[in-house]
Structure 1
């Protein structure tokens, strides 16, 4: 095993202990609250499917499928590879589409939001970041590197302000039905640096 591979393994293990499991638990509550009791969900950029599985554990009436640009060795839900641009599904194929911490990894988030709106019959649920406030971009960049460098995820650090998100939603024709920013993803005292209005979950119709 190379030195780089060992470094990635250590980084992933540390992130899993400190952040990942709490993140899955907290986000599954927020995401689940914005979805109906039953129906089909496409998880765009699903990773290993852990979050989708946690939501289904809370709401057994939901059925998730995932798509991602590459498929992890082990996934908790069925996952299909896609090109990162066009969702391989007909219009209105799913009740909902979820996009969790994916759009800031793309160069054109508005295009993927439009694709999600095309595929979803009932709505789109997005969790992402807000580049507003003191040292927001630097803090988000650090968090992104720690959480994703060990998985070889592309890191363009394309964070948007609230005004830029609103512009994308308006252009696509989506309206926010629910919006939450105080997500409590991190325990005290880490929340003072890593929560502080840097995250949102939105339900859009």
Structure 2
């Protein structure tokens, strides 16, 4: 029995590695490059940034390559074996920092993994001096929920990331921002994160970047 369990676990590990490898080649590297460029536009030329839910810190590292005057620290509920920036574990609800500790907080494709996005937004607003930059999904348009679920599974299942599939509409995002005491300063859609023809399905208006103050 133990041998069978071990074989099953080895098979699952191999499947995750294969899924991560395919996603990395087809999507991840392009996504990092495009998001880093877009997010860098929203941040100043220098200052401190907290990357909330940073993963392995690839996007933060790419932003620092564009703007060396920015310094990033990451927090996440899961610690990856290797990271590109210093990362601290946190409980997913309370940011381990005092008020106005950082110039900026970035939250990239994290809030839809939570049950209460507004709570984390309020925490981000508490520790940010200048503003909060959010990249996330929009549950808008034909089959949006189903498309986002598939994308989320492909991108995160191999890393054992929690998947509650909590996608919000634009009206729900506006309510969450308002409840956290944040006002929209800029809003970008049509980010073109995916190569063609994948982008015809996976881009559309399913993604946004918003700077909040």
> What is the TM-score when the length of structure 1 is the normalising length?
0.99
Instruction: State the partner residue of 1:97.
Output: 105
CA distance in 1, matches of 2:78, 2:142: 34
1:7 pairs with 2:2: no
Q: Distance in 2 between matches of 1:46 and 1:52?
A: 8
Instruction: Give secondary structure in 2 for the equivalent of 1:121.
Output: strand
Give the secondary-structure state (helix, strand or coil) at the position aligned to 1:2: helix
Unaligned runs of 5+ in 2: 1-8
The count of aligned residue pairs is 205
Partners of 1:185 and 1:125 lie apart in 2 by 17
The offset of 1:11, in angstroms, is 0.2
Q: Which residue of 1 is the match for residue 189 of structure 2?
A: 181
Query: 2:44 is paired with a residue of what secondary structure?
Result: coil
Segments of 5+ residues of structure 1 without an aligned counterpart are none
**Rounded Cα–Cα distance in structure 2 between residues aligned with 1:189 and 1:4:** 29
Q: Which residue of 2 aligns with 1:124?
A: 132
> Of 28, 34, 40, which residue of structure 2 is paired with 1:26?
34
Aligned counterparts of 2:12 and 2:199: Cα–Cα separation in 1: 30
SS of 1:26's equivalent in the other structure is helix
Distance in structure 2 (CA, Å) of the matches to 1:172 and 1:156: 21
Choose from 146, 157, 164 the match for 1:149: 157
SS at match of 2:187: strand
Q: CA deviation at 1:56?
A: 0.3
Shift of 1:23: 0.2
2:86 is aligned to 78
Q: Secondary structure at the match of 2:38?
A: helix
Quote the offset at 1:106 in angstroms: 0.3
Q: Following TM superposition, by how much is the alpha carbon of 1:199 offset from its aligned partner in structure 2, in angstroms?
A: 0.2
Residues 102-117 of structure 1: pairs in structure 2 closer than 5 A: 102-117=110-125
CA displacement at 1:15 relative to structure 2: 0.2
Moved >6 Å (runs of 4+): none
SS of 1:63 mapped into structure 2? strand
1:103-124 per-residue CA deviation (whole Å, 9 max, x = no partner) reads: 0000000000000000000000
Superposed CA RMSD in Å reads: 0.6
| Greater C-alpha radius of gyration | 2
Whole-Å separation in 1 of the counterparts to 2:87 and 2:115: 23
Match of 2:5 in 1: none
TM-score normalized by the length of structure 2: 0.95
Q: Distance in 2 between matches of 1:71 and 1:187?
A: 29
Q: Deviation per CA, 1:91-146: give whole Å up to 9, x if none.
A: 00000000000000000000000000000000000000000110000000000000
